[in-house]
Amino acid sequence: MYDITLKINARLQPIDRGDEYEDPIGEALESRGLGEVTGGGTMLESTGEVKYCEVDLSLEDGSEQTMEALLQILDEIGVPKGSVLQWEGHKQPVGRLEGMGFYANGTELPLEVYQNCDINVVIREMESLMEGVGRFYSYWEGPEDTALYFYGTSFEEMRGRIEKFVEEYPLCHKSRIVRIA
């Protein structure tokens, strides 16, 4: 067996890491007889926010054909820019998706905004506005804000499509948008 780690430049809760990467990669590897997923992990910032994720793979071999098939699987599934395959002292950059973090302010808005607005409305509306360009992958609830993580083909286009909604929906006021991949 040939062990490889996929370091994913994505901010995902462990269950989302499984749904988005471990399960689809494992199914694709097994269906092609190339190997399996053997584990995964999540690296946190000192704040508790996810920094990146890892998926451990065990391939049948390290042949050029197997590696090309793995790269094709990763391209089909879609991983964020800045991700890396690591094995035996080698590093192979992978990823084409761009990431957008939306940080909803959780402490500075009027109390009635928090009582009358819903973060799930924000997620649904943003995902609808980004259709065909990006989608929601995961979230993080911090002490001062709630982060929503979106990945897609273009950070600028994702941000542009939600601008009007962010200006209009009260729960989005005093928010910040950050490029995360």
Whole-number Cα distances in Å, 70 to 4, 26, 50, 73, 178: 11, 11, 25, 5, 30
Q: Which CATH architecture has domain 98-179?
A: 2-Layer Sandwich (3.30)
Whole-number pLDDT of residue 1: 85
Q: For 139-153, give the DSSP string.
A: EEE-SSEEEEEEEES
Whole-number pLDDT of residue 139: 98
pLDDT averaged over 10-residue windows placed end to end, the chain, 181 residues: 96 97 98 97 95 97 95 97 95 97 97 97 98 98 97 98 98 98 97
Are 159 and 177 in contact, with CB atoms under 8 Å apart? yes
Every domain range in the chain assigned CATH 3.30.70.360: 2-94, 98-179
Q: 3-class SS at 7?
A: strand
Whole-number pLDDT of residue 3: 96
Nearest of 71, 7, 66, 8 to residue 35 by alpha carbon: 66
The structure's pTM equals 0.95
What CATH class has 2-94?
alpha beta
Whole-number pLDDT of residue 107: 96
Whole-number pLDDT of residue 159: 98
Q: How many other CB atoms sit within 10 Å of the CB of residue 112?
A: 9
Q: What is the DSSP letter of 21?
A: I
Q: How many other CB atoms sit within 10 Å of the CB of residue 55?
A: 23
